[in-house]
Amino acid sequence: MAKMGRPLKEKTNLSHDVKVRLSDETFALLCAYCERAGKEKASVIREAIQKYLEAENETAE
């Protein structure tokens, strides 16, 4: 059976789904940033996690 659902915009292997709860303030800041940057919330969250983990890795070295 073929995979159902909305196809990804870019060719990536995004096979893990993570759910987070945000405060109203954090969600409003995220939405405002996405509006200004013209990006989707999911991509901004992925980028933020990646940058955070890279910075943490640099401080651990």
Quote the pLDDT of residue 11.
Answer: 65
The total of structural domains in the chain comes to: 1
Give a yes or no: residue 19 inside a domain. no
Q: Which domain holds residue 41?
A: 24-60
Quote the pLDDT of residue 13.
Answer: 80
Give a yes or no: residue 11 inside a domain. no
In sequence order, which residues have a C-beta less than 8 Å from that of residue 22 and are 6 or more positions away? 30
pTM of the model: 0.73
Please give the chain's pLDDT, 61 residues, in tens. 566 666 666 667 888 899 999 999 999 999 999 999 999 999 999 999 999 999 998 888 7
Give a yes or no: residue 50 inside a domain. yes
- Look at residues 28, 50, 31 and name the one whose alpha carbon lies nearest to residue 39: 31
Give a yes or no: residue 16 inside a domain. no
Vertex 13 angle, CA 2 and 51, to 5°: 155
Q: Do 25 and 31 contact (CB within 8 A), yes or no?
A: no
Give a yes or no: residue 1 inside a domain. no
